[in-house]
Amino acid sequence: MALIADPDEDLVRRVGQGDPAAIQSMVARKLPRMLALARRMLGDAAEAEDVAQEAMLRAWRQAPRWTPGKARFDTWLHRVTLNLCYDRLRRRREIATDSPPDRPDEGSAPDRGLLAADVGMRVEAALARLPDRQREAIVLCHYQELTNIEAAALMEVSVEALESLLSRGRRALRLALADMRSDAEGA
Amino acid sequence: MTAERFIALVSAYGADARRWPESERTAAQAYMAAEPRAARAALAEADAVDALLRASPTPQVSPALRDRVIASAAEAGLKARKHGRLWLDRLVLVLGAGWAAAACAGVAAGVIMTGHLTADAQADAVLYQASLQGVDDTEVLG
């Protein structure tokens, strides 16, 4: 099996040796990415912080026994974070009642232009209402900037299936936010 | 690349060519050059969705979260092995062994020298008692 080149290999090795500078570098490099992933998958700031913290804790435990060449550390960390997110999403569904969604789409404000923050919040809310797999595909490809092959492997689907999820997700967003497209373009 | 595939591509990955799969990027750009009108319509639609996605704020890491995560590294058992002090520790070990060896050598030398001095003193005593009458060697030497 061909060895996989990993830009994090040296950093992971030094983290595994307990090098304080490497630990700080790893936090600077990975924590914002894992927080963003969790935030967009869960749509909740506090839960996203918990997930990102737990994912990084698992990274610390994994680093001393990490075997280079088998997988990219970043991909592994995405897998860990996604699993933690899906655990929470599953728990939410199990306790879901008739309560209304956390952040209902209030629609546009016709009497005033939307501020950039309003646009951002509405996009975030629309993302949160997408089916989980469509949201995951968009978050991995668009926000986390993984390649289609990496994202498909993480999601355990073919590239064709990934493209279908992406297209359907983007179409749903376009329809949900049709009233504010000009605002977003100007934001 | 066919028109159908180009539309499928931008519908999935958006209007930014940098996000397109590397294996198809060149062909898609060639299609854009060959069919600019058809390409433009598909790109405009995709670009509008890209603009919406860009509007979503990027979550910021709070200093408190950062500190908690750094602290959790120690909790997970990651501790610096003090590589910077390793050479110093070895130096102390070597110097310590040297001092111990020097101390042993000093003790040995002292014992030998004391033996010589004692022998000299005994020889002097024997010569002295030989000059005296009625004193046995054993009284001097013990």
Tens-place pLDDT, residues B44-59: 999 999 999 999 999 9
Q: Report the C-alpha gap between A60 and B127 in whole angstroms.
A: 83
B121 has a pLDDT exceeding 80? no
Other Cβ atoms less than 10 A from the Cβ of A114: the count is 20
CA B83 to chain centre: 6
d(CA B35, CA A166): 24
Q: What pLDDT shows up at residue B120? A: 58
The span from the CA of A133 to the CA of A129, in Å, is 11
Query: Which domains does chain A show, CATH number per domain?
Result: 1-96 (1.10.1740.10), 110-187 (1.10.10.10)
**pLDDT value for B140:** 45
Q: Which residue in the set A116, A147, A167 is minimally distant from B55, CB to CB?
A: A116
Tell me how far apart the alpha carbons of residues A158 and A177 are, in angstroms, rounded to a whole number.
29
Give the pLDDT band of residue B92 (cuts 50, 70, 90): very low
**Distance (Å) from the C-alpha of residue B78 to the closest C-alpha of chain A?**
5
Output the pTM of the full model: 0.74
A170/B46 Cβ within 8 A: yes
Helices (H), chain B: 3-13, 22-34, 36-55, 63-75, 83-130, 137-141
Q: How high is the pLDDT of residue B107?
A: 61
* Rounded Cα distance, A166 and A137, in Å: 6
CB contact under 8 A, B68 and A15: no
Rounded to a whole number of angstroms, the distance from the CA of A95 to the nearest CA of chain B is 27
Contact A119 B78 (CB under 8 A): no
- Residues of chain A with pLDDT below 50 are 106, 109-112
pLDDT higher than 80, residue B61: yes
- pLDDT reading at B127 higher than 80: no
Which residues in chain A have their CB less than 8 angstroms from residue B77's CB?
60-61, 64
Q: What is this model's ipTM?
A: 0.83
Q: Contact A174/B54, CB-based, under 8 Å?
A: no
**CB A61 to CB B76 under 8 A?**
yes
